[in-house]
A and B are shown apart, each in its own frame.
Chain A
Amino acid sequence: QSALTQPASVSGSPGQSITISCTGTSSDVGTYNLVSWYQQHPGKAPKLMIYEVSKRPSGVSDRFSASKSGNTASLTISGLQAEDEADYYCSFGFDRSVVFGGGTKVTVL
């Protein structure tokens, strides 16, 4: 599997919505609904936010939603809050292998 491409940074003001993209290929993201998203605050372990493209684990705020179109998966944060400032990583897992995106730093202005 090839690496997934994410923008280095995304920013938004409190209350706004932002979207982070995660681009793969027609062989991975484009074919299979196997994308996960993680949030990592500085100095902390990552936290699973989304799995199987759009499913939220129990306890994750519904301000976080995700989808996929073609070879690109997207994570949307609605009603942006200061606590959402963190790094976000997508991953694709298939056939006993996992690849992460390079990560996106979200800044709340």
Chain B
Amino acid sequence: EVQLVQSGGEVKKPGESLKISCKGSGYTFTNYWIGWVRQMPGKGLEWMGIIYPGDSDTPYSPSFQGQVTISADKSISTAYLQWSSLKASDTAIYYCVRHNPQSRGWPFDYWGQGTLVTVSS
């Protein structure tokens, strides 16, 4: 069974750093893209970026380029989303998502359970 299991919720202060994780199982981690989608409170979905663990190719959304870092450790089938200096506006639920490269249009066939990040002074 394919699963994406994310790390738990976080409460941070503005200016702090943070790294959240997403562990894939039930499939060959290096053969599928894995990415991140933001959902701010009461708002819609926003694609942030994605990584191909096989070669670490990482396209970002222009809206998030330079604001976050996406990485992956294929030895432990885990992807990461990282901030160096959080802002209150980073408060959101972050979903990790999987994309099968055989499907066109970048559909995300599996989603993690979401990680709530709260940034407040």
Contacts and interface: CB of A to CB of B under 8 A. Distances in A.
B113 A45 contact: yes
Nearest to B33: A96
Given A45-B113, A97-B59, A103 B45 contact: yes
B32 to A, nearest CB: 14
B47 A98 contact: yes
A97 B43 CA distance: 20
Interface residues of A, number: 27
Nearest to B106: A93
Interface string A17-52: 000000000000000111110101000011110011
Given A96-B59, A97-B59, A97-B61, A48 B108 contact: yes
Interface of A: 32-36, 38, 40, 45-48, 51-52, 57, 89, 91-94, 96-103
